[in-house]
């Protein structure tokens, strides 16, 4: 059932109508960011077409064909050869191709064409997914054109991509393009809570990190974010304490350490949200206005220790340093200076002038 999928109500409506009117295109191109559910929607179509006890025009999700459609038999090995064929699901009419390396291969497209020409073995229709269709090169794209042009009426080919502009126009023009929108934070949050993936407070944070992609909400990216935020929370704690120079210099070193160098900007972003949160709490703003809602107890504790310190000044000091980073300054020294200046500033002094070292 489409209703079990998150977001993209417009797409659900469109696909439902196409199924009702029996005019589902044989070649479709699903576009939209990674992790918004393109593949799940494609599999939902496969279920709708092959379900044993359909609910209206949709798959029930619970009958044996519906269940088997969700189980892919991924190759065990990582050798390119293992990934060269069609990866079938436990349903003999539903399969997918994935680029073994950087490109989708001509042989894979030929396999799809060959299989699409067979009548369904078990259900009413055969469905083939092409993952990361932007990995078609000229040859493999051309090998696909014929079957896209005139798919046999019992076969459906669904291309998935987050980068539709990379596809040859000859491929795009032969498909019905269906665009998926990023999910809203509240759609993601509700999904995580309803499916017991996380509690309310964490769900809100995950939804924010996700930036529209359910994949990101539950993937590695979230763990990375949590790690970065932990480090920045330590900085905020040291700033609130005011005199923990050792910790601040240590944090500056961590922030500039080689493995996380690319995360420098992201970490400063996070530090700013933490400062803003503590600041809001110190002004007795409602807890709901806090971005890092799952850290509420820690942030409240910090906000009480701010005393006469000026978090809004800290934010402008960070911003000032970021501007200077555009020109050639020594980032490590600038961070040292930034943290120490922030720690030293209090309500009685105006935000200090630029004191960052120019290389
Ligand atoms: Zn079913």
Q: What is the pTM of this model?
A: 0.75
Please check the confidence at residue 354 and state whether its pLDDT lies above 60.
no
Vertex 95, ends 93 and 99: CA angle to 5°? 160
- Separation of CA 291 and ligand 1 centre (Å): 41
- Separation of CA 68 and ligand 1 centre (Å): 10
Place of tokens 């459609």: 69
- Separation of CA 89 and ligand 1 centre (Å): 15
Supply the pLDDT for residue 347. 40
Please check the confidence at residue 353 and state whether its pLDDT lies above 80.
no
DSSP code string of 77-134: S-SGGGGSS-EEBSSTTEEEE--SSSSB-HHHHHHHHHHHTSPPSSSS-EEEEETTGG
4-13, 88-97, 235-244: least confident range: 235-244
Residues with CB under 5 A from ligand 1 (ion): 51, 59-60, 63, 66
Average pLDDT, the chain: 90
Q: Name the most confidently modeled range: 8-22, 221-235, 245-259.
A: 8-22
- Separation of CA 156 and ligand 1 centre (Å): 18
- Separation of CA 91 and ligand 1 centre (Å): 12
Q: Which two tokens stand for residue 300?
A: 């409240």
- Separation of CA 120 and ligand 1 centre (Å): 16
Report d(CA 210, CA 230) in Å as an integer.
Answer: 18
pLDDT in tens, 237-270: 988 887 788 999 999 998 888 777 788 888 999 9
20-29, 88-97, 174-183, 205-214: least confident range: 205-214
């Amino acid at each position: 059932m489409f209703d079990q999928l998150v977001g993209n109500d417009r797409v659900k409506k469109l696909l439902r109508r196409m199924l009702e009117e029996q005019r589902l295109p044989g070649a479709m191109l699903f576009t939209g960011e990674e992790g918004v559910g393109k593949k799940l929607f494609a599999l939902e179509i496969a279920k709708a077409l092959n379900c044993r006890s359909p609910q209206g025009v949709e798959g029930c999700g619970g009958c044996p064909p519906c269940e088997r459609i969700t189980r892919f038999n991924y190759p065990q090995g990582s050798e390119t050869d293992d990934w060269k064929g069609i990866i079938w699901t436990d349903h003999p009419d539903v399969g997918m191709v994935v680029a073994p390396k950087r490109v989708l291969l001509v042989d894979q497209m030929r396999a799809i064409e060959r299989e699409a020409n067979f009548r369904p073995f078990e259900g009413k229709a055969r469905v083939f997914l092409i993952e990361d269709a932007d990995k078609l090169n000229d040859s493999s794209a051309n090998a696909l054109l014929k079957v896209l042009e005139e798919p046999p009426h019992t076969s459906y080919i669904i291309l998935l991509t987050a980068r539709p502009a990379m596809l040859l126009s000859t491929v795009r023009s032969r498909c019905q393009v269906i665009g998926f929108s990023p999910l809203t934070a509240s759609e993601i949050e509700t999904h995580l809570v309803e499916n017991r993936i996380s509690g309310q407070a964490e769900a809100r944070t995950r939804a924010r990190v996700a930036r529209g992609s359910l994949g990101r909400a539950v993937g590695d990216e979230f763990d990375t974010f949590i790690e970065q935020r932990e480090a920045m929370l330590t900085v905020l704690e040291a700033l609130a304490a005011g005199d923990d120079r050792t910790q601040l210099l240590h944090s500056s070193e961590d922030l500039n350490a080689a493995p996380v160098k690319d995360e420098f900007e992201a970490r400063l972003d996070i530090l700013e949200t933490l400062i803003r949160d503590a600041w809001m709490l110190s002004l007795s703003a409602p807890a709901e206005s806090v971005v890092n809602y799952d850290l509420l107890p820690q942030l409240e504790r910090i906000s009480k220790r701010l005393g006469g310190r000026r978090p809004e000044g800290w934010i402008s000091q960070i911003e000032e340093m970021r501007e200077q980073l555009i020109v050639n300054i020594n980032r490590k020294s600038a961070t040292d200076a930034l943290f120490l200046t922030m720690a030293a500033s209090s309500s009685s002094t105006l935000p200090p002038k630029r004191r960052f070292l120019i290389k």
